[in-house]
Chains A and B, each alone.
Chain A
Amino acid sequence: AQSVTQLDSHVSVSEGTPVLLRCNYSSSYSPSLFWYVQHPNKGLQLLLKYTSAATLVKGINGFEAEFKKSETSFHLTKPSAHMSDAAEYFCVVSDRNNDMRFGAGTRLTVKP
């Protein structure tokens, strides 16, 4: 069985400051991990994915995430938040059967 836990339901940062969205996973096998972003009344856009290659994954819009097997974590970071980053973020784990499990989501607020 696999699952994913997003540790914060809401994160608020000031524009220009770093962003950290936390995600821990549980999986019986070597997982694939994804981060998606959802803006209001929109579908989900893939930010980045980890599929057993490099542990530090760079995505779009300046986001990156690091896969840490020892900590079963896949936290999403960005050095400097922009107002347009305000959205809902989902961490997703996928097993070898390609079944995806979504986290509960983290709402990112960016203050001017």
Chain B
Amino acid sequence: GAVVSQHPSWVICKSGTSVKIECRSLDFQATTMFWYRQFPKQSLMLMATSNEGSKATYEQGVEKDKFLINHASLTLSTLTVTSAHPEDSSFYICSAREIKGSGNQPQHFGDGTRLSIL
């Protein structure tokens, strides 16, 4: 249980294009999903918290116009990297937290998306 599917797993595109990454919770509902960026040999950096039916909450230093987040349903959040440039190349990982019970629930992670901008 608690499977998160992230698509695509790898994308290569030209500078200036926009790229959309999808994050789906397959067997549970999630009011909250998270988007992380990970540089080589480093830990995860939280970019934004995606809330179903409302605007995402961005971390300091993350451009909301650059990284558009939409959380249209309890099982789907999307991250669109607009007008991507080589410096946006990175490993992007989403996670989702179940709606259940009390106490802190763990986040369940997708397999990540390797984005390479030429």
Contact = CB atoms under 8 A, between A and B. Distances in A.
**Interface bin, chain A:** 20 to 34
Nearest to A104: B43
B114 interface: yes
Contacts of A41: 91, 112, 114
B109 A43 contact: yes
Among the interface residues B43, B107, B111, B114, which one has the most CB atoms of the partner chain A within 10 A? Answer: B43
A9 to B, nearest CB: 9
Interface residues of B, number: 22
Interface in B96-112: 97, 103-112
Interface string A26-62: 0000001010100001111110010110000000000
Main secondary structure of the interface of B (DSSP, over half): strand
Nearest to B9: A41
Nearest to A34: B106
Given A43-B6, A46-B108, A90 B103 contact: no
Contacts of B4: 43
B93 interface: yes
Contacts of B97: 98
Contact of B44 (A46, A94, A102): A102
Given A41-B112, A41-B114, 13 more contacts: A32-B104, A41-B91, A42-B111, A43-B109, A43-B111, A45-B109, A49-B106, A95-B104, A96-B104, A98-B104, A103-B43, A104-B42, A104-B43
Q: Nearest 7 CB-CB pairs, A to B?
A: A43-B109, A32-B104, A44-B109, A43-B111, A94-B104, A102-B43, A43-B112
Interface of B: 4, 6, 41-44, 46, 91, 93, 95, 97, 103-112, 114
